[in-house]
Structure formats: C-alpha cells, structure tokens
Amino acid sequence: MDDLLRDAELKSQRYRNFLGNRVSGALMVNISCDYERWIEKQRAAGIIGQPNIEIPDPMTEDFLAEHAFNWGAQHVRDAQLASRFHMEELEDDFCSTICFHPGAGYQAAMSSGGDLLFFKGMGTSYTIGPVLADWDRMDAVFNHDNQWVHYAKGFWRGVDSVDARGVFVAPRFCRSPLDLANDLRGDRLFMDLYDFPDEVSAFVGKCADSIIAIDKILRADSATLRNNPGGALGVASGHQTILMNGDPLDLISDEMVLQFNNPALETVTHYAPSTYLHHHSIGIARVRAVSMVRNLTVQQLTQDPNGPRIADCISDELIDASLCTPIHLMLSANQIQGSYEAFVEKLLRGRFILDLWVSNFDEGRWFVRQARRITGQ
C-alpha cells in the first residue's frame, strides 16, 4: 500500500505542476488498455482474489438497492488494482479515479427523481420521457430527495468503509447544465434555443443549481469525497472535482455555446475548486469556445468513430485553446499517422494530456517511454 500512496502523490504533484503552469512544453501521457491478462496473473499467484460481487449488465434498481454499499467498496479495490497495474507495467501518468456512474440517464434522474430504464452495456441508462413540458413549471422539475440520490449515498458510504487512500474521486459523472436541460426538456430543447432563448437560459441556470445541490448532498455524506484528492478519467484534476458530460455543445454553433452553455457552466466552475468537462471529436470545432469558460480545469475530447480524427486536428486553434484550458485527448494509438515523435512535438506547443488506447500494455509502455524521451520529462 505504501508504494501505491507514494506513486499517487508523485503523479498528483506532476498534475498540479502541469495544470498550474500556463505555458507550453509539458505533456502528460495516460494509457488505456485491457489489463485482464495482468489480473489473471495476479490471481494465479494468489495476490488478489475474485470480485466480491458480480455487477449485473444491464444494471438494475434491485441491485442498487441491495448492493450499492458493496459496489462502492469494490470500486476502491478495483481502483487500487488499476493503480498497481499502471505503476508496475506502464509507468504512465494515469491516476486511478472513482465516480458513481450507472449511466447518463441515471445522472439526470438524480435531479428529477424520474423513472429510468437500464440497458445492456455497462453504464447505460435512459430517463423515461422528458420531464419539463411547461416553462412555467421549471422549479417543479427538480426533486433531490429521491431513491437515485439515496443509492449514490450508499455507494459512497461503501467507499468510506474501506481504506481508499491514494484513490482520486469525483462524486459522479454528472450532466453539464446544458446536457441536463436536454434530458429534462428532451430534444425539443434544440428548437427552444431559437424559439424560447430566455426560457432556455433560465432553465439551464436552474440545472447548474441542481448539479451544485447534489454535489453538496453527496459530499456532506461522504468523508472520502471531502478528503480525498479529486480526479476524473485518469487525471488528477484537483481538490473536490466535478466531472461533467457536455455532449450537446457539439451539436450547436460557437455563438450558441457562448450564449447557452458557458454562462451556466461557469456557475459550476465558480463553485467547484476543480471541474472537468467531457465531450467528443464531432465537436472539435467548439473547443475554442469551451476554452473560454472561466475556471474550467480540463476540457476532454474523446474520439468519435465517425467524427474528425483527433490526431489529424492538432491545429494552431486547438493548441491556442489548450493554452487557455488544458485539453485531454482520448484516441487510439493507431490513428497517429507518420512519426509519433512529430506528433508529440506538435502537442508540446500547447498543454495536452494524451490518452492513448492501445492493444496491449507492452505497446503502451513503448509509447510512454518514447514520450518521456522526446519531452525529457
């Protein structure tokens, strides 16, 4: 355990230095790969045992009602295993993070108390129909005293019940204010941007308030959330992180991002010491507008199967945006065409976290060591 704690502190310090330094020339490197082969080797040697509980796929409310506590405790074990794997096999900057996430629909239901459907594919859930039908009933949409918030509390109480030192945490993978508004209003929200802009702005603002209210509820109930370092998706992003999904911003213009996304998002970024916003490469043209959100800690882009290839889009505009807010790029290593060294040197002109999906950890280790050689870090 002591070696994991030392490793977590070293990585945390690297991220603090990286995020606190607003100049180019540094690069963080995380590797994503299947480590089942490593886990089986650990089990064969008797170092680790079998999981305590089987997670159903699809998720069920019955499981959450009965096992949320045990699921939280098992998350700590899994995160510590991941920490050891990355420390021993990859030597990258990956920080093991925990967040409560039974799907995007679940996160919206935590704000409304609405009904849910779970689908196969771990972490897949949808709310049953939009909640807000009448603009005059905005306040009535929100109900934080519901079973979904209760199960989240149970999860974090499970985390609290074990030694979770060295693990980085975010309460949940919540919806951004605009994304939450999209779920609660439905896709008609995109027409409302034109037809009812004032009402949309007011409602998105109330969604920001809901995100903050639930964050306060969960942190008040969990010592781990109050005391552990914050992190999201392998990044040590700072104290008391809020992790958000911002997908709808990829579907609107820069002007609309500035009008309907950024103001409410800044309500959250001013509340939370650190914030992390995920969206997709289909919205890579929106990166500059998102980088203008004040106090946003990290902006993250994930490669879409049919979207622009991130590796081909390291433009001057993207680099300039990263100098405002660091950008976490998630892409497959096989998308890098030509010289990896040239690609890394281009990233060094900005402030990037490079997260590469690789086929095995031997390949991952090679990418990490090459990046260290190129950057001199």
Nearest to 100 by CA among 150, 152, 144, 59: 152
Least confident segment among 9-18, 47-56, 222-231: 47-56
Does the pLDDT of residue 129 top 80, yes or no? yes
Average pLDDT estimate for 185-194: 97
Pair 190, 247: CB distance under 8 Å = no
Inter-CA distances, 196 with 188, 248, 280, Å: 11, 17, 27
Does the pLDDT of residue 70 top 90, yes or no? yes
Residues 6 or more apart whose Cβ sits within 8 Å of residue 207: 111, 175, 177, 178, 180, 181, 184, 264
Inter-CA distances, 265 with 69, 226, 288, 314, 352, Å: 31, 22, 15, 25, 22
Which of the two residues, 42 and 195, has the higher pLDDT score? 195
Does the pLDDT of residue 51 top 80, yes or no? no
Residue 21 φ/ψ, nearest 5 degrees? -100, 110
Average pLDDT estimate for 102-127: 95
For the beta carbon of residue 224, count every other beta carbon within 10 angstroms.
22
| Mean pLDDT value across the chain | 95
Does the pLDDT of residue 1 top 80, yes or no? no
What pLDDT sits at residue 333?
96
What pLDDT sits at residue 153?
98
What pTM value is reported for the model? Answer: 0.97
Nearest to 241 by CA among 143, 351, 123, 98: 98
Average pLDDT estimate for 255-279: 98
Residues 6 or more apart whose Cβ sits within 8 Å of residue 109: 115, 116, 125, 127, 146, 148
Tell me the residue ranges of DSSP E strands in 246-303.
Answer: 274-280, 298-302
What pLDDT sits at residue 37?
80
For the beta carbon of residue 143, count every other beta carbon within 10 angstroms.
16
Which of the two residues, 223 and 51, has the higher pLDDT score? 223
CA atoms of 15 and 307, how far apart (whole Å): 29
What pLDDT sits at residue 36?
79
Does the pLDDT of residue 76 top 80, yes or no? yes
What pLDDT sits at residue 5?
96
CA atoms of 279 and 92, how far apart (whole Å): 23
Does the pLDDT of residue 50 top 80, yes or no? no
Alpha-carbon radius of gyration of the chain: 20
Proportion of the chain above pLDDT 90, given as a percent = 89
Evaluate the CA torsion angle 36, 38, 43, 48 in order and state its sign: negative
Q: Are strands 97-100 and 168-175 parallel, antiparallel or unpaired?
A: parallel
Does the pLDDT of residue 20 top 90, yes or no? yes
CATH (residue range 2-375): 3.20.20.210
Average pLDDT estimate for 30-50: 83
pLDDT tens readout for residues 217-257: 999 999 999 999 999 999 999 889 999 999 999 999 999 99
pLDDT tens readout for residues 297-356: 999 999 999 889 999 999 999 999 999 999 999 999 999 999 999 999 999 999 999 999
pLDDT-based confidence at 38, cuts 50/70/90? confident
